[in-house]
Amino acid sequence: MRSPPIARSHRAVAVLVLSLAGPVTAAPPPAAATPAAPAAATVRLEHFMFGPATITVAAGATVEWRNLDGEPHTVVSLDGLFRSGALDQGDTYRYTFPTPGSYRYVCSIHPQMVGTIVVSAAAAAPAAGPRG
C-alpha cells in the first residue's frame, strides 16, 4: 500500500509558508533608495540673470536652477565642479554641494550671467520659507 503523497506535500508547503511569513513581515525592510532630495534652494534663470545671484545653503544641500527665459541657458561652475547642459525654458538642473566653500558659476552662452553659491558648514541653515 502506498500513502497519499499529495496530501503530505501540501501540508508541508503550508507549514513552510507560515514559517516564512512571520520573520519576513517582522523584519524592517531595508531603506529604499531615497528619491531625489528636495532642493534646498532654487535659482531662477530669468531676464538673462541668475536670481538670486548669490545664495547661501548648508553643506549637503541641493540647489536647483530653473530656466524661465525663452532662451537657453547653462549653469557652469568656474571650478569645473558642475556643468549643466543647455536648459530650455522650464528645464531644471540640480547639483548637491557637499563641501563648504564659495562656488562661482556662469552661463556659458551668456558669460555676463554670473552667480555664486555659498555653502556653509552643515550645521543647519534655517530652511527656506514655505515653498510653492
Q: How far is the CB of 66 from Cu ion (least distance, A)?
A: 13
Contact assessment for residue 45 and residue 73, using Cβ atoms and an 8 Å cutoff: yes
Q: Which of 57, 63, 73, 103 binds Cu ion (CB under 5 A)?
A: 73
44 scored as a contact of Cu ion (CB under 5 A):
no
Cβ proximity to Cu ion, 40 vs 67, nearer residue: 67
Min separation Cβ 79 and Cu ion, Å: 19
41 near Cu ion (CB under 5 A): no
Phi, psi for 8 (deg, rounded to 5): -65, -40
Stretch that binds Cu ion, among 34-42, 49-57, 65-73, 82-90 (CB under 5 A): 65-73
Query: Residues in contact with Cu ion, total (CB under 5 A)?
Result: 4
Sites for Cu ion among residues 94-113 (CB under 5 A): 107, 109-110
